[in-house]
Amino acid sequence: MIKPSIYGLTLDQMGAWLEEKGHKKSRATHVWEWLYRRRVTEFEQMEEVNKDCLQLLSEHFSIQTLTEHTRQESIDGTIKFLFRLSDGNLIETVLMRHKFGLSVCVTTQVGCNIGCSFCASGLLKKSRDLSSGEIVEQIMKVQLHLDSMGTGERVSHIVVMGIGEPFDNYKNMSDFIRVVKDHKGLAIGGRHITVSTSGLAGKIKEFADSDLNVNLAVSLHAPNNDLRTRIMKINKAIPIEKLMDALEYYWDKTNRRITVEYILLKDVNDQPEHALELAELLKHRRSLAIVNLIPYNPVDEHSQYQRSEKDSITSFYDTLKKQNISVSVRLEHGTDIDAACGQLRSKQIKKDVDGSREKVLS
């Protein structure tokens, strides 16, 4: 039997669980300290915590459910981790270095069903959601790597933009955020956490009504329904009008800025007329939206798409600027390794499958 990750419990949930099992609720705070501040990897390392309590926890939970399978390190300091889950599935987690700190991009699902035609993450369909503990443990594994370097560095920012659609795993994603934000644990501030969605309108409204208070990014990638449906099949179910209605609800409810993600695909969505359409779409909320232009990382399986030329990126940027739209171009990380999200995972799975075939044939 595979035991769930103890990282999946919020502090309140752990306290309630211990109390239900006949232990003092306050013992959860002691365990929390050892998990997130002292970052132990075995229950036996938790000194001064009630032994019966530790025994009970160890019988029901595991501290380590992820193992490092592969690690790729870029010359710019980006590190891509390929982790193997306890059921054998593989996921990716990425550490990125910025001037403002260290950011980790986490995965929320094994595979993805959104079906964006340019994306490596969707090459393998979703087989299951990650538990909240498996999402938290990605942060812990990266932090433990930093601890081993002895430099005193810590994870300061989180982006929930890895493999999968976070809002399709809403409950576990929400518990993950509550764990990493808790001031008695990792204490990563809400302003330093961004959740990205492909546009699940109902969940955007639920997110607006929640107490999570973290940033929202929306993967738009096209300014009209015809083009967006061509490259993102989710637009068939949730067209731009429905998505914009949900964003209006979010803006009215929170008055928080949204990042609009826009991958630039050569001769597909990167023309000046596309930029003007995008500006028109956002003009009434320009003070609460910032467009993040993303140079495309080519994927072998999606050879129909190429990266936009530098002149096209500059022209798109300038067109938005002239329309008074806040816009930035994403700094690239890990271009000398498997930069596209999901690329390392899909390559490793293909390698494993090919290796198995060779064994059978031999």
Burial class (CB in 10 A: 0-12, 13-18, 19+), 308: buried
- CB within 8 A of 173, min separation 6: which ones? 108, 132, 135, 160, 166, 167, 195
Residue 4 DSSP label: P
Q: For strand 155-160 and strand 128-129, is the pairing parallel, antiparallel, or unpaired?
A: unpaired
Q: Is 33 helix (H, G, I), strand (E, B) or coil?
A: helix
- CB within 8 A of 38, min separation 6: which ones? none
CA dihedral 114, 115, 121, 126 (to 10 degrees): 60
Which residue has 């299951």 as its token pair?
A: 128
Active site residue 19: no
Q: Which of 53, 92, 134, 261 is catalytic?
A: 92
Active site residue 301: no
- CB within 8 A of 26, min separation 6: which ones? 15
Q: Which of 53, 105, 119, 341 is catalytic?
A: 341
- CB within 8 A of 78, min separation 6: which ones? 94, 95, 96, 97, 333, 334, 337
Residue 45 DSSP label: G
**Contact yes or no for 21/52 (Cβ under 8 A):** no
Catalytic residues: 92, 341
